[in-house]
């Protein structure tokens, strides 16, 4: 089998890249080790920057997003019993859109199906060969039969635990990582959101976040120890703890209900450099992880897809490799800025423990939040980063 680009992973970044390349006349094949049902069962973030929305529109996968996505012109920060609204529209004339990552994936699946580009699902034992020099070859097993794909380029969109980064010799990678000493206990419920915009809460008991997936489906989080399990958190315990961490007016208007999904997510900052190795390119979580506090994970994957798709189209249409040569440096420049913002947000909003410097950290958080509340310049910087830096 022969193709121009072999894409490993059929999450949103792999599907988006394949759709953009297909529309530009670049041949590609997508391999996914899981079933479509499994891919759609993964509950992920749901806040999209403008560039991500624009890319989905260009990929002909945004009809439902444009109908059902919730446009947010601001976000709230709760601290010290008060609520501070950051007005994106007034500060930077921009907005974000709330639309679940599962729905993004579903829409991209439908868009690929319409164009006859269904990925190869349940592709087992995927391996990547000869990507540093020569013609890359990707092998996989499907229904007991081994297949081989010769290609010009391989793109690894297969996440943190995927085969793509693992195929790179360890000595070729430089890894930067920070693991945080807490997690997020998340609950999805068929309840009306407590607010029409997100609320980030800094509280002595720990961080909390009020988010949503639609006008009738809410997503809430509370900071918890890494030693906790989902079984430790009954619905009643979760709702009681969330109320404690919210301002009184929000706590009183909170509508509770039976959870339809629960999970605990650890927080990590992670980057590898470079993210190009000969004819293998890493995209999204295969190359970098951000803590979810800044809502950057999916959006960073989309910006990687932007840079790489432009470079591949330039290669095939203009016979120029300039974009491919610059891909790693260009993508990583934006990645590190998003890592910085996510790290800053995480340090601003969470409790880190009971160590000797924790009281100092809390005073610094309070001072920073008060500074933001009183400074248009600080609010503008926050808004500029939150809605997404330009590509």
Is residue 221 flagged as an active site residue? no
pLDDT at 134 over 90: no
Is residue 72 flagged as an active site residue? yes
pLDDT digits (tens, 9 = 90+) for 301-360: 999 999 999 999 999 999 999 999 999 999 999 999 999 999 999 999 999 988 788 999
d(Cα 211, Cα 217) in Å, to the nearest integer?
Answer: 9
**Spatial contact of 218 and 211, defined as CB atoms under 8 Å apart:** yes
Q: What is the pLDDT of residue 109?
A: 98
Q: What is the pLDDT of residue 277?
A: 97
**Spatial contact of 274 and 146, defined as CB atoms under 8 Å apart:** no
Q: What is the pLDDT of residue 45?
A: 72
pLDDT digits (tens, 9 = 90+) for 194-221: 999 999 999 999 999 999 999 999 999 9
Q: What is the pLDDT of residue 353?
A: 87
The number of angstroms, rounded, from the C-alpha of 377 to the middle of its chain's C-alpha atoms is: 27
Active site residue: 99, 140, 180, 200, which one? 200
Active site residue: 99, 180, 307, 386, which one? 386
Full-prediction pTM beyond 0.75? yes
Q: What is the pLDDT of residue 356?
A: 82
Q: What is the pLDDT of residue 327?
A: 98
Strand ranges, E, within 143-230: 145-150, 153-156, 174-189, 199-202, 208-212, 218-224
The whole-number average pLDDT for the span 243-259 is: 97
Q: What is the pLDDT of residue 133?
A: 84
pLDDT digits (tens, 9 = 90+) for 33-46: 999 999 998 777 78
Active site residue: 296, 306, 315, 350, which one? 296
Active site residue: 22, 72, 306, 350, which one? 72
Q: What is the pLDDT of residue 85?
A: 98
- Produce one character per residue of 92-104: b if its CB has 16 or more CB atoms within 10 Å, e if not: beeebbbbbbbbb
Q: What is the pLDDT of residue 251?
A: 97
Is residue 180 flagged as an active site residue? no
- What is the torsion angle, in degrees rounded to the nearest 10, for the CA atoms of residue 75, residue 77, residue 82 and residue 85? -30
Is residue 386 flagged as an active site residue? yes
**Best CA proximity match to 175, nearest among 94, 100, 274:** 274
The whole-number average pLDDT for the span 246-258 is: 96
The whole-number average pLDDT for the span 65-88 is: 97
Active site residue: 220, 221, 292, 315, which one? 292
The whole-number average pLDDT for the span 224-241 is: 98
Which domains are delineated in the chain?
A: 5-48+100-176+269-345 (3.50.50.60)
Q: What is the pLDDT of residue 125?
A: 97
């Amino acid at each position: 089998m022969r193709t121009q680009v072999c894409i490993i992973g059929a999450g949103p970044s792999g599907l988006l890249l394949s759709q953009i390349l297909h529309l530009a006349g670049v041949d590609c094949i997508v391999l996914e080790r899981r079933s479509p049902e499994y891919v759609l069962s993964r509950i992920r973030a749901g806040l999209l920057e403008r560039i991500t929305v624009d890319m989905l529109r260009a990929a002909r996968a945004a009809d439902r997003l444009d109908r059902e996505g919730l446009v947010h012109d601001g976000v709230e920060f709760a601290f010290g019993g008060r609520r501070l609204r950051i007005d994106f529209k007034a500060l930077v004339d921009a907005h974000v859109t709330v639309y679940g990552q599962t729905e993004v994936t579903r829409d991209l699946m439908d868009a690929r199906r319409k164009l006859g580009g269904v990925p190869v699902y349940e592709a087992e034992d995927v391996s990547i060969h000869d990507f540093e020099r020569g013609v890359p070859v990707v092998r996989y097993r499907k229904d007991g039969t081994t297949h081989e794909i010769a290609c010009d380029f391989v793109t690894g969109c297969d996440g943190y635990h995927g085969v793509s980064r693992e195929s790179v010799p360890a000595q070729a990678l430089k890894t930067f990582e920070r693991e945080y000493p807490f997690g997020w206990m998340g609950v999805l419920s068929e309840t009306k959101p407590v607010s029409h915009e997100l609320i980030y809460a800094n509280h002595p008991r720990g961080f909390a976040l009020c988010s949503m997936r639609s006008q009738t489906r809410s997503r809430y989080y509370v900071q918890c120890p890494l030693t906790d399990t989902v079984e430790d958190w009954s619905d009643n315990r979760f709702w009681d703890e969330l109320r404690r961490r919210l301002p009184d007016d929000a706590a009183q208007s909170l509508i509770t209900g039976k959870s339809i999904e629960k999970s605990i997510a650890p927080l990590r900052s992670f980057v590898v450099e470079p993210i190009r190795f000969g004819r293998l390119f890493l995209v999204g979580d295969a190359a970098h992880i951000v803590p979810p506090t800044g809502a950057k994970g999916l959006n960073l994957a989309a910006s990687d897809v932007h840079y790489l798709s432009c470079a591949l189209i330039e290669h095939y249409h203009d016979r120029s490799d300039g974009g491919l040569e610059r891909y790693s440096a260009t993508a990583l420049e934006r990645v590190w800025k998003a890592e910085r913002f996510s790290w800053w947000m995480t340090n601003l909003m969470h409790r880190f423990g009971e160590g000797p410097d924790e009281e100092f950290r809390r005073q610094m958080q309070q001072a920073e939040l008060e500074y933001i509340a009183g400074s248009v310049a600080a609010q503008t910087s926050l808004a500029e980063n939150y809605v997404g830096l330009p590509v």
